[in-house]
Chain A
Amino acid sequence: MGVEGIGARVARKEDKRFLMGQGRYTDDMSVPGMRYAAFVRSPHAHAKIRSIDTSAAKDMPGVIAVLTGREMLDDGIGNLICGWMIHSKDGSPMKMGAWRPIAHETVRYVGDAVAVVVADSMGEARDAAEAVLVDYEVLPAVTDAVRALEAGQPQLHPEAPGNLIFDWQLGDSDATDAAIAAAAHVTEMRIVNNRLAPNPMEPRAALGIYDSAEDHYTCYTTSQNPHVARLVMSAFYNVAPENKLRVIAPDVGGGFGSKIFIYPEEIVCLWASKRAGVPVKWTSDRTEAFLTDAHGRDHVSTVKMAFDADNRITALKVDTIANFGAYMSLFSSSVPTYLYATLLSGQYAIPAIHANVRAVYTNTAAVDAYRGAGRPEATYLLERTVETAARELGVSPAELRRINFIRAFPHQTPVIMNYDAGDYEASLEAAMAAADWNGFPARKAEAASRGMKRGIGMSCYIEACGIAPSAAVGSLGAGVGLWESAEVRVNAVGTIEVLTGSHSHGQGHETTFAQLVAERFGVPIDSVSIVHGDTDKVQMGMGTYGSRSGAVGMSAIVKALDKVEAKAKKIAAHLMEADESDIVIENGALKVAGTDKSVPWFQMALAAYTAHNLPSGMEPGLKEGAFYDPSNFTFPAGCYIAEVEVDPETGKTTIVQFVAADDFGNIINPMIVEGQVHGGIAQGIGQALLEGVHYDPETGQLLTASYMDYTMPRADDLPSFKVSHQVTPCPGNPLGIKGCGEAGAIGSPPALINAITDAIGNNDLTMPATPQKVWAAALAAGN
C-alpha cells in the first residue's frame, strides 16, 4: 500500500468542491432561454378526472405552455414501466396497471401529476399551476396494504383485481410445514417494516433541452444511473431514440435508491421542451419530494421459526404483504422478492425456508428500492425473530446465533443464494468485545439506580451486494443485465482518465477509483480523473445501487487496467529492449526487474502516442475498455450491538453505545468505508427510532409531508459509533471486495429494537420506536 493506494485513508478528492459550495447539481444548470416547470398535482388520493380547464392558467403572466396528459398521450409518450417481471405462484405474470407520466383519467395518490405549466419564472409557473381548474370525482381510497387486499376495498387498477399485483413464493412449502409440525419449539411473530421517505439532501430535478435543428434531446437529471435512464426513456417511453438523447447526471446530492428510477418529471421536461420550444427545468421542493419520491419498505409479515431440541433452526416460514403504492416503480417488484426472500436464511444454516409475498396496490406514493432494498426487511424480520426465540428458549442471544451459524463455505441456502465466504463468529466476537457485552449487567444496575431502563440487543446481518450476474438475474425476471463497464484512457503525458459506468452521488468514487489506479501504476491520484454520469462521454454502464460500485464497477476498472498494463509493458519492453515478462511497474516507472533500466510512466505513454517506435504491428495509443459481469453476488455480513437507555417516564430512548463489526472483504479506503457505515447506521437509527411515513387511512392525505412531522435523524440523536472490520476476502472478484454501502441501514434496526424491548421487558413494539410507543409499551409491561 502506498500513501494513496489500496488501503490508504485518502481524503476525498471531491470534497473540496462540495465544501466550497462549488458542486454542480442539476438545479445549478442554466441554459439560454431556459424556463421553469411547475406541476399541478392531485390533492386527492383517488379520483376520476372529469375535466381539466387550463384556459385561465394560459392567460397568466409569463406562461408559455400548460400541458396535460391527454397531449402526452397524443404525442405517443409511453407508460412508465416496472423492469423486473415476477410471476405469481400460479404462473401468471404480475399485473401491472398503467402509469401515465401525467394522469388524464384517474389519479391514484396525493401528488399524482395532472398538468404541467411552463413559465418564465418559477413563481409564475406556480401561480399558473394554481389557476389550472381540475374537476375531480373523488373516490374512496385505501392506503394500508393489508386492508387493500380485503373484499370491498377501493380498487386501483382494472388490471389488478383485488389490488393484488402478484402472489409469489420461494422455497419448499411442504418441507417447511413438516419441519414446523415436528419442531420442539416454534417462535411466531408479526413483523411490520415501516414505510420510509428517502430524503436525499438534494431533491430531484430535471432539465430538458430540445435542439430542433438536430432533433436531439439533452436531459440533466438527478440520476444514479444515467445510461439506464436513457435506455428506458428511449426504449419504453418513446421520448427519443438513444442516439438522439443525452442524459447527464452531474453532481448528485444523495440518492439512497430513490434516484435509480425514472420518474414522470424528467420525461415531462424533455417532452415539454419540444412542445413549448424552450429548455424546461423542474426542481422538486421538499414537500413534493415527500409526496412523489419512491418510498421504501412498508411490509407486514408473519413469521414462524422452528427449532429442534438442540435449539437448531429447522425451518422458517414467512408470509409478507408488500405495499407497492399506486404504481409499479422501475424495480419495485424485485425488492420484496429476489432482494428479500433470498436473504431469509441470514447467517444461519436453515434446512427449510418458505416465503410467500403478496404485492399490493394502495393509494400512496410508489414504493421501490431504498438503501438496502429488501435486505433490511429480511434482516429485521430474521433478527427480531431470532432474538425473540432466544428469550423464549432461555438461551443467550449470542449462543443461539452461534449454534446456528453457517461455518463452512461455499454454503447453498434453500433460497437461491450461494454464500461464498464469511466468518460470522469473528464479527460476533469482535462486536461483543467492543461492546463489553459481559459488563452489561453492571451497567444495567447502575442505570436502574438512576431510574433508567437499560437494554442491549444484537443483530447478525447478511446481505447480497455486487448486483449481479446478468444471466442469473435475467432468469429471475430482470429486464436488464447487471454488469458494469470501464474505460481507462492513458493520455500522452501519462495522466489517466477512467470512464466508469458507476455513478457517484456521495460514495467518493473520484477518490476510491483513483486509488485503485494509483496502486496499479504508482502514479499520484491527482493525475487520475474519474469521469462518470454523462452518456455522451461514458460507454453504456449500469450505474450505482445495491453496493455494486466496488465489487462490480471497480472490477470492470481492474479488467481495463489489466489490458492497459499489458500493453504498457509491451511498449516498455520494446523501448528497453527487454523481455515483456521482466517488466515491473513501480513508483510510476516501468522497470526491467533486477536491472537499473527503467522508463518513466509518462515516457511510455508518450511513446504510445508518438508511435515512432512501437513494437511492430501494435496500434498507437493507450486506451482500453472492459465490461465485467460478476460470477456471483457478494455477501457482506457483520454483527451490530446497540445499547440503550429508556426513560420510562417519557419513553425517550437514548442510544448509549453502538457497535458495528462488519466484514466487507478487502477495503480500498477505510475512511470512506467508515463514512458509509456511519451514514447507513444513521439511516437505520432513523428507521428504528424516528422515521415513518403516515398517510391518513381514510383520506389518503400524507400527514408527514415536511420535517415538521417527519423525523429525520439529527446529530444529537446519534451516538459515536464503534466501527471495526473483519476481512474475509470475496473470492468472486479480482479485488476481493464485498460492498459496504447499505450494511449500516440493514444491520442496525433490529439491534436497536432488540435493545429497547430488552430494556422495557415488552417485545411488542413497532418501528419507529417513538417515545410515545416506548412509553406505552413500557407501561403495558408494568414498568
Chain B
Amino acid sequence: MYATNYHRPSSIAEAVALQSASNEAKYVSGGMTLIPTMKQRLAAPSDLVDLRHIAELKGISVNASRVRIGAGTTHAEVSASPELAAACPAICHLAAHIGDPHVRHMGTIGGSIANNDPAADYPSAMLALGATIVTNAREIPADDFFTGLFETALEDGDIVVAVTFDMPAKAAYSKFPNPASRYAMTGVFVAKAQDGSVRVAVTGAGANGVFRHAGLEAALSADWSADAAAGVTVDAGDLLSDIHGSAEYRANLVKVMAKRAVAAA
C-alpha cells in the first residue's frame, strides 16, 4: 500500500470539503473494495475520507410504502433488519449472501453501488426495484445510475447518502456464485411492483455490467411464473465470457436464476 492521509469527518459537508481539498482523495466506507485495491497498489489515493462516522448516512426506515436505506448501512445490518424483512425480504436475502461475515460487517450498500462492480449483488436490486440513489447533490434513478463497468452517474465528490424504493408486491434474488470469488457469476433480481409492473435485473453476466432483461420482463409481466421465465430465450450475445463461464453458460444461468427467483418470490 502507498502512504495516504486519513480523515474522519462527522458530517457530509465536512467530508465534501475534505474531498475537494485534494484532487487525489477518495471516500472510504467499509473499505472492502478500496482497501484491497490499495494493498495491491492498484489505487493510490493521497487522502482517504472515512464516511463511517457520519450520522446522516446511517439508518433504515420504512415510511408507508417507501423504503430508505442509509448509504452507510452494512450488509449485515441490511440482512438482519426486521423492517426490511417485512418490507422487502429479498434485499435481506441478497445482503446475507454477499461475501463472508467479515465483509458483511464492514461493507456498505453505498460503497457497493458507488463501486458498481459488474459482479456485485446490490446493483441488480437497485435496478429491479426501480430505486432512487440519493446523493448529497441530486436524486438519480437507478436506470440512469449504473452506466458501465465500475462506472456510475456520480460526479467527483458526490456522496451517496441513501437509496430509496417502493416496497414491491413481490421480489426475490437468486444468485449463482462464482466458485472462486463468490461474487455473482450470474444473479437475477425479479421484482413485481404494487402496480403490477415487472422489472428484472441481471448482474454478473453482462459484458457491460448490470442490466435489465427486456425479454424476461415481458414474459413475467404477462405471466408471473417460473415456467414463463423458463420459456424466454436469453441471448448470449452481450454476455461476459471468462475462465469461469462462457457467455452461453451465463445465458443459461440468467434463465435458471430468473426461474428460481420467481419461484422464491
> Of A127, A130, A711, which one neighbours B179 at CB under 8 angstroms?
A711
Q: Provided the pairs A126-B41, A287-B40 are in contact, do residues A772 and B256 lie with their beta carbons within 8 angstroms?
A: no
Inter-chain CA distance A601–B207, complex, in Å, is 75
Chain A residues in 8 Å Cβ range of B244: 709, 770, 772
Chain B residues in 8 Å Cβ range of A651: 249
Inter-chain CA distance A708–B185, complex, in Å, is 12
CB distance from B2 to the nearest CB of A (A): 7
Chain B residues in 8 Å Cβ range of A704: 180, 243
> Of A123, A127, A703, A776, which one neighbours B243 at CB under 8 angstroms?
A703
B253 touches A650 (CB 8 A): yes
B157 within 8 A of A: no
Inter-chain CA distance A707–B180, complex, in Å, is 6
A776 touches B249 (CB 8 A): yes
Inter-chain CA distance A649–B246, complex, in Å, is 15
B181 touches A708 (CB 8 A): yes
A772 touches B40 (CB 8 A): no
Interface string of A626-665 (1 = CB under 8 A from B): 0000000000000000000000011110000000000000
Inter-chain CA distance A649–B255, complex, in Å, is 10
Chain B residues in 8 Å Cβ range of A650: 176, 252-253, 256
Interface string of A105-139 (1 = CB under 8 A from B): 00000000000000000010011001000000000
A690 within 8 A of B: yes
Name A271-305 residues within 8 Å CB distance of B. Answer: 287
Name B203-258 residues within 8 Å CB distance of A. Answer: 243-246, 249, 252-253, 256
A722 within 8 A of B: no
Name B111-159 residues within 8 Å CB distance of A. Answer: none
Interface of B is mostly: loop
Q: Select from chain A the residue with minimum beta-carbon distance to B259.
A: A649
CB distance from A285 to the nearest CB of B (A): 9
CB distance from B5 to the nearest CB of A (A): 15
B1 touches A123 (CB 8 A): yes
A775 within 8 A of B: yes
B2 touches A127 (CB 8 A): yes
B256 touches A711 (CB 8 A): no
Chain B residues in 8 Å Cβ range of A708: 180-181
Chain A residues in 8 Å Cβ range of B180: 690, 704, 707-712
Total of A-B residue pairs, C-beta within 8 Å: 47
B13 within 8 A of A: no
CB distance from B180 to the nearest CB of A (A): 4
A48 within 8 A of B: no
B3 within 8 A of A: yes
A772 touches B181 (CB 8 A): no
Chain A residues in 8 Å Cβ range of B246: 772
B3 touches A771 (CB 8 A): no
Inter-chain CA distance A709–B244, complex, in Å, is 8
Chain B residues in 8 Å Cβ range of A770: 179, 244
Chain A residues in 8 Å Cβ range of B245: 771-772
CB distance from B41 to the nearest CB of A (A): 7
> Of B1, B3, B179, B252, which one neighbours A690 at CB under 8 angstroms?
B179
Interface string of A670-711 (1 = CB under 8 A from B): 000000000000000000001000100000000110011111
> Of A694, A703, A707, A771, which one neighbours B181 at CB under 8 angstroms?
A707
Inter-chain CA distance A385–B176, complex, in Å, is 33
- Please indicate which of the listed interface residues A130, A703, A707, A772 has the most CB atoms of chain B within 10 Å of its own CB: A772
Chain A residues in 8 Å Cβ range of B181: 707-709
Inter-chain CA distance A694–B242, complex, in Å, is 11
CB distance from A640 to the nearest CB of B (A): 22
Q: Select from chain B the residue with minimum beta-carbon distance to A712.
A: B180
27 of the cross-chain contacts (CB-CB < 8 Å) are A126-B41, A130-B41, A287-B40, A649-B256, A650-B252, A650-B253, A651-B249, A652-B176, A690-B179, A690-B180, A707-B181, A708-B181, A709-B181, A709-B243, A709-B244, A710-B180, A711-B180, A770-B179, A770-B244, A771-B176, A771-B185, A771-B245, A771-B249, A772-B244, A772-B246, A775-B252, A776-B249
Give the A-binding residues of B (Cβ under 8 A): 1-3, 40-41, 176, 179-181, 185, 243-246, 249, 252-253, 256
5 other contacts beyond A123-B3, A711-B180, A712-B180, with CB at 8 A cut-off? A649-B256, A650-B256, A704-B243, A707-B181, A771-B185
The 4 closest A-B pairs by CB, nearest first: A711-B180, A772-B249, A708-B181, A711-B179
Give the B-binding residues of A (Cβ under 8 A): 123, 126-127, 130, 287, 649-652, 690, 694, 703-704, 707-712, 770-772, 775-776
